[in-house]
């Protein structure tokens, strides 16, 4: 999981930022809504103050005129008292913050005004209102008010009415301007946040496209074939573009078709078993194997396939994803190395390694069939002087000719090996008898002893041969080889160019 997050961090970081900005935008919207409600409430209350100031003048004037006729309605006195109390309560709430009564009768909380222009208007209004409030409070609370006091109060109200109304208008306008400025600021933040979200989304999209292009280019440039196969349906869900160069078919030849189209018969069965195992157990029985692929020209491509399981793009199905690499050249090189490891470079004959492998196999057959087996150990006579006199080039030619002569003397069922220097071994299987072996050895000696012309020079060599039989002389290849070698040295010490059997 951590590796996946690190792998896609350049894409995920802008997306995470987008998510955080979305949350921030949501919070800003809530805050803007709340501020608009507060501003609307303040503006509404400030507008009501204008109406209350006019109502107070109107009611006070009505009561004053009525008092002169000594018929003051009690209802008007109550209305005036409520208007005065509400105006004063609201003015104090704007100034210090606190509760006030809304037009609906609901008690609401008003925040203290902090805008300097609004507070200046509020201060001027309070300065005018305080003496008027005192006069009105006395007027409302006294049982009998002198005509001169009532007249003076009305004079003061008339004097400051326009000024107080103007200040309430200015307060309302100031609150409206403050609300506009704050709303504009918040809207600007909203706009900037939306732009940042858009930029982050664009960055994430560009990085994702760039990443996809990067991996697409890798897929196109790699010589490996990358495939995805649905475990349930065995259909190919993905194949890289390199399939065209390697197999000659285009991608559409394989997409949403059975994955068996890639393989020859034997490899189809192997890959099908792998898919079945993953479907049953959820695990790969092997993560790597060798397969053979069918090319468009019907030739075979030997490949190494490395597999792993993964979820499909929709996250629902299990797939086997595989990287297929052409190993034809490697296999050819390995075959050459194997051949070189098992063949004598000079003569083309099998070497000592092959001798022991074939001899062990022949021995097991002889033991099972209760037949004989013979080993002829051949050492060339007078070969060293040819090397010393004519050089190794001539000596190599003599060895090549001698190898061919020995091979020409034996049956197709028999084998000849060069085991080093001027030493050879002949392995005889099947019908083996003493006289037949002796006759063959003498034929080899006769053939090898014929002169060999190299660059106009006549080269004369011979051969000393030792023979050992299974089961007469031993039941082990090493033992038989040693006894044949010992018999050959017996010939060397008794005149050479002859054959001797192990004792």
Say which residues have a Cβ less than 8 Å from residue 432's Cβ, sequence separation at least 6: 371, 372, 373, 374, 469
Q: 483-488 long-range contacts, Cβ below 8 Å, gap at least 24?
A: 484/375, 484/376, 484/377, 484/425, 485/377, 487/377, 488/377, 488/378, 488/379, 488/464
Distance of CA 268 to the CA centre of its chain: 28
| 283 contacts 309 by C-beta, under 8 angstroms | yes
Say which residues have a Cβ less than 8 Å from residue 276's Cβ, sequence separation at least 6: none
Hey, which residues does 166 pair with through a beta bridge?
Answer: none
Tally Cβ neighbours within 10 Å of residue 434. Answer: 13
| 459 contacts 394 by C-beta, under 8 angstroms | yes
Candidates 50, 61, 120; CA nearest to 87 is: 50
Q: What is the dihedral of CA 204, 207, 213, 215, to 10 degrees?
A: -100
| Alpha-carbon span 40 to 45, nearest angstrom | 8
| Alpha-carbon span 492 to 303, nearest angstrom | 54
Q: What are phi and psi of 78, to 5 degrees?
A: -65, -45
For the residues of 423-464, what is the DSSP string, one character each? EEEEEE-SS--HHHHHHHHHHHHHHHHS-EEETTEEE--EEE
Catalytic residue among 381, 422, 473, 485: 422
| 363 contacts 356 by C-beta, under 8 angstroms | no
Say which residues have a Cβ less than 8 Å from residue 111's Cβ, sequence separation at least 6: 38, 42, 97
For the residues of 115-146, what is the DSSP string, one character each? -HHHHHHHHHHHHHHHHHHHHHHHHHH-S---
Q: Is 422 a catalytic residue?
A: yes
Which amino acids are annotated catalytic? 422
């Amino acid at each position: 999981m951590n590796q996946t997050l690190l792998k896609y961090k350049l894409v995920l970081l802008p997306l995470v930022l987008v998510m955080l900005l979305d949350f921030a935008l949501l919070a800003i919207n809530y805050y803007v809504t709340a501020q608009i409600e507060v501003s609307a409430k303040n503006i509404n209350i400030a507008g009501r103050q204008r109406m209350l100031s006019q109502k107070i003048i109107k009611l006070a004037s009505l009561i004053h005129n009525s008092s002169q006729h000594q018929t003051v309605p009690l209802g008007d006195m109550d209305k005036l008292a409520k208007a005065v109390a509400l105006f004063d309560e609201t003015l104090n709430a704007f100034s210090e913050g606190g509760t006030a009564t809304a037009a609906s009768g609901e008690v609401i909380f008003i925040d203290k005004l902090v805008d300097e222009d609004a507070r200046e208007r509020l201060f001027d209004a309070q300065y005018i209102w305080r003496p008027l409030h005192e006069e009105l409070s006395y007027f409302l609370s006294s049982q009998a008010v002198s005509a001169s006091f009532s007249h003076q109060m009305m004079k003061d109200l008339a004097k400051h009415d326009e000024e107080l109304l103007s200040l309430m208008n200015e307060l309302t306008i100031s609150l409206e301007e403050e609300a506009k400025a704050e709303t504009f600021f918040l809207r600007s933040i909203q706009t900037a946040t939306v732009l940042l979200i858009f930029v982050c989304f664009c960055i994430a999209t560009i990085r994702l496209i760039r990443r996809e292009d990067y991996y697409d280019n890798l897929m196109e440039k790699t010589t490996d074939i990358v495939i995805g196969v649905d475990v349930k349906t065995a259909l190919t869900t993905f194949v890289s573009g390199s399939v065209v160069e390697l197999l000659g078919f285009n991608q559409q030849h394989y997409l949403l078709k059975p994955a068996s189209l890639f393989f020859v018969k034997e490899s189809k069965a192997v890959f099908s078993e792998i898919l079945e195992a993953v479907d049953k157990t959820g695990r790969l029985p092997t993560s790597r194997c060798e397969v053979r692929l069918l090319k468009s020209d019907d030739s075979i491509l030997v490949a190494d396939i490395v597999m792993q399981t993964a979820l499909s793009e929709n996250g629902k199905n299990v797939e086997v994803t595989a990287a297929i690499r052409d190993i034809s050249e490697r296999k050819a090189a390995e075959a050459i190395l194997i051949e070189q490891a098992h063949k004598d470079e000079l003569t083309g004959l099998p070497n000592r390694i092959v001798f022991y492998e074939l001899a062990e196999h022949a021995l097991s057959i002889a033991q099972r069939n209760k037949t004989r087996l013979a080993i002829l150990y051949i050492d060339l006579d007078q070969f060293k002087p040819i090397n010393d006199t004519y050089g190794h080039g001539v000596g190599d030619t003599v060895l090549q000719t001698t190898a061919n002569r020995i091979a020409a003397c034996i049956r197709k069922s028999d084998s000849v090996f060069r085991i080093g220097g001027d030493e050879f071994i002949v392995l005889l299987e099947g019908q083996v008898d003493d006289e037949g072996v002796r006759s063959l050895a003498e034929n080899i000696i006769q053939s090898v002893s014929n002169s060999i012309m190299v660059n106009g020079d006549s080269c004369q060599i011979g051969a000393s041969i030792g023979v050992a039989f299974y089961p007469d002389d031993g039941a082990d290849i090493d033992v038989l080889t040693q006894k044949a070698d010992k018999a050959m040295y017996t010939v060397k010490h008794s005149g050479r160019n002859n054959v001797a059997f192990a004792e």
